[in-house]
Every structure is written in C-alpha cells, then in structure tokens.
Structure 1
C-alpha cells in the first residue's frame, strides 16, 4: 500500500509541477507571481519531479516553439516528423539539452520573460542530483515493497517528467477527439481527464493557448484550474483578466 500511495503521489505532484509551473506559467504566462513565489515553485518543481526535473527555462522555450510550429519540421516534438515514439523522445531530449546548455539558435522572442534561475537550473539538471533522487526511490522501494513486481515501476519514477510529456506530445496528437479545427493534429485525449490534470484537453489548449482553464465542454473538468483560482484568490499568484471565460 505504501508503494501505491508513493507512486500515485509522485505521479500527480510531478504532473502538477509540470502543468502549473512549467506549462501554464513558464511557457504561457497565464498568471504572474512575484520573484520569491517563483523561487518557491522552482524548489517545489525540483522536489516533486525529482530525478526527472525539467528545466522551467528549457521547457518554456521549447513549448513556445511547439505552439509556433506545431506539426511542422520545426516542431521540437511532433509525431508527424518522428519514426516512432522513442525517436520523438530522443529528438526532444536533444532539443532540450541544446536549450539547457545555451547552444541553441532559437530566436530571442521565444525566450522573453521565461523564468531562468541559474542555481536551480544547474542543481536540477546535475547528474549528482538525478542519481541521488534515483537512489532515494530505490531505497524507499527496498524498505516498503511487499512483492518484487512493484520494482517495475521504478523506471517511471526515474523518467516521470518525460513520461508525462510523451503522453501528450505523442498520444494526444494521434488519438482522441476534437472540439475545434486547428492547424495541427492536437486532440483531446480523454473526455474526463482523471490522468493528466487537464493536460489531455490538448485540442482545446491549441485553440485557446492563453486560457488557464483547459476544459471547455461540461464534462471536461480541468483539476489544475481550481488550484490556480484558489492561489489567485489568496494573492499568491495573479490570474490574468478574462482567463476564466467559457467558450462553449
């Protein structure tokens, strides 16, 4: 039971960091926050994602490129230009590393106002940190596992961030339904998003890229949005005006 609780907690906490801080804040600036609050969420992202920490800077820049060039040869992660899922993951990894290491040739407009705390970027991306988190996961499983098969879950812990990314970047461009005709293959992967905290409403998001609530239809509940509303109400963040409009 302890392993199941730990796995589910890691899944959703890591996913929250990705959808709230990396995606909706770093890439899209759907809301604003002060410099101290930004550093707090940097730390929370580091803790929640652990060994698969994704740079808010690199994620933000790369995701902006994805929206600007969705399903073209310039898209950092498009199934339309990849042989298979693993080929797309490898290309995404190389693109990501170029941005992290500042050896990319990406236009400055895609980097404007993207958070970039050099200390946390370096700490989170270091192999010492990644290996340390990995050892911590292994030790937790060693002490609490009640059967050997649960150790098969460890690779997901190690790569939690990329796993979440590939679910949307691959499967939500291949399977699902569309509320809107957009100029790419983005689809809504799940009608009720119990798995991805609103991220699976990918077609909606590609239609309304700056909208904080990814759900549109009555059954499309975005679990991250009430958290955003609460944090905005508490004045921890500031949601941009008209970001809770209903379009359908």
Structure 2
C-alpha cells in the first residue's frame, strides 16, 4: 500500500484528490472513529442495525481489519493500557506503538488473539461474514475505484487514502500516548493532542477518552473539536441514534488532577 502511495505525484488530478478527501471521511470518520471505535468497541451509542452495518462496512474499507478483529483488539488495549499485555504501548518504543506491533504477528496475536471479549459481535452473522470475506471487499473497492476513475482514483482514493488513514489512526496509539496534556488521572500515558484531535476526527482527545471510554464525546471542552461527536449529534437529531453515553460533571470532577498548591 505504501509503495502504491509513492505513485501519487504521477497520477495527481483534482478529481482524484477529491476522491481522496471523500474516502478519508467515509473510512476514517464514519468507518473507524464513528463505527469501529465509538459504536462497536465501546458501545457509546446505538443505531438501527441496518445503519450499524453500513457504518461498519465503511470501516472495512479502511483496510484495518474486519470489525470483529478491530473491536476485540481495541478492547484488549483498554483492558491492559500501557502494560506488558497492551498490544501497542509506547513503553516498548514509539515505533512499536505506531506500527511495529502490526509487523510482529506472533507477539500481537499472543496479546489480542482471544476474541472472547467480543462475543456479542461474533454472535451476529454479518460480522462473521465480514471476518470470512474481508479481503474480497477490499479488492472489490479497489476495482470499483479503478473502474470509475482509472489509475488516479486507484492511487489517490485507495493507496494514498489508506496510508493516510493508517498513520492517522496509528498516531492515536503513539503520538497521543507520548505528547500532549493530561486533564484526567487515568494512570496511563494517554494524552490530549490537538493536531491528532483534528486529523483523527476527535480521537486525539485521548486522555479524555481513557478517562471515560464509554463516552460518545471525546472533545469534552468546547474548544476541543470533535467531528465524530458532531456526526453522532446529527444522527441523534435525525432519530438514528439513541442511548448516547456521556460522563456526568461529578464523574469528571473526581477524575481531574487536583490543582497544585503553593
């Protein structure tokens, strides 16, 4: 995928760039952050099943694994954050937390191979089907982009976009566990990092997320831009989302670091 992305300068067109932006939103925001992360991994809101599956399919197109695999692995991360059982802690180095863990299949499977923490998903035929046929959907999406826009759309809408969403997603695990601020005492390395907060559609408010992993909203301050939360608000307005979970003010006060006294 990275090799394909290197062809970008030779196939640039404004139409291909618009395809890149559209697919970045569809797979990154709707697929990974809205569906895979906030809905499937943390159950922070509920939608009708048809919409849940449509959003999950957007996540499949991000080429980060099938929904069951992704959600289960992420739940392992929260259960063992920044411990030896965490699949991608910066305690093992920045490179490891960013993408090294994906290149060491044996070590990663040892930590996240148990899918029993996502039994409610495994019980649904849709997610079992996605698990078994995952790569065919990736191939079909690449063929469709090529059929519509030729090599420019394949390079920009598939390769460049996939690599871009890869590194934005991985930066939440690496950058947002190394640099930024901590408002809440979570006992781990999670940080609020504003560039990642913007690029990852709100996921960079990572200390907030680790403090209240059930929360549908990660940007808990008015100035913490959280596009995924905006999408959830839109779905709620359209009556397509309910059971939206948010932390109470008392919960936030208990978790905040106490101010330093002179």
**TM-score, normalised with respect to structure 2:** 0.74
Equivalents in 1 of 2:86, 2:110: separation in Å?
Answer: 15
Residue 142, structure 1, aligned to residue 156, structure 2? no
How far is the alpha carbon of 1:94 from its aligned partner?
A: 6.8
The RMSD of aligned alpha carbons is: 3.2
Given that 1:3 and 1:141 are in contact with CA atoms closer than 8 Å, whether structure 2 keeps it comes out as no
Q: 1:70 aligns with which of 63, 75, 81?
A: 81
How far is the alpha carbon of 1:161 from its aligned partner?
A: 4.9
* Stretches of structure 2 lacking an aligned partner (at least 5 in a row): 1-13, 254-262
| Residue 24 (structure 2) aligns with | 11
- Change in CA separation of 1:96 and 1:11 when aligned onto 2, cut-off 3 Å: farther
Residue 199, structure 1, aligned to residue 199, structure 2? no
How far is the alpha carbon of 1:184 from its aligned partner?
A: 1.1
How far is the alpha carbon of 1:80 from its aligned partner?
A: 1.3
| Residue 133 (structure 1) aligns with | 141
How far is the alpha carbon of 1:169 from its aligned partner?
A: 0.7
| Residue 148 (structure 1) aligns with | none
Equivalents in 1 of 2:25, 2:100: separation in Å?
Answer: 26
Q: Deviations over 1:75-117 (max 9, x none)?
A: 1111212472442332479737996xxxx345x3x22434652
* Stretches of structure 1 lacking an aligned partner (at least 5 in a row): 146-150
Given that 1:192 and 1:219 are in contact with CA atoms closer than 8 Å, whether structure 2 keeps it comes out as no
- Change in CA separation of 1:131 and 1:8 when aligned onto 2, cut-off 3 Å: same
| Residue 234 (structure 2) aligns with | 230
Q: Deviations over 1:172-225 (max 9, x none)?
A: 111222222321111112168331110010111011111111012231121111
Helix, strand or coil: the match of 1:4? helix
Q: 1:89 aligns with which of 102, 116, 123?
A: 102
**Higher helix proportion, which one?**
2
Helix, strand or coil: the match of 2:202? coil
Equivalents in 2 of 1:73, 1:136: separation in Å?
Answer: 42
Q: 1:120 aligns with which of 126, 130, 146?
A: 130
- Which region of structure 1 is more displaced relative to structure 2, 230-239 or 197-206? 230-239
| Residue 171 (structure 2) aligns with | 167
**TM-score, normalised with respect to structure 1:** 0.78
Helix, strand or coil: the match of 2:32? helix
Helix, strand or coil: the match of 2:36? helix
Given that 2:39 and 2:46 are in contact with CA atoms closer than 8 Å, whether structure 1 keeps it comes out as yes
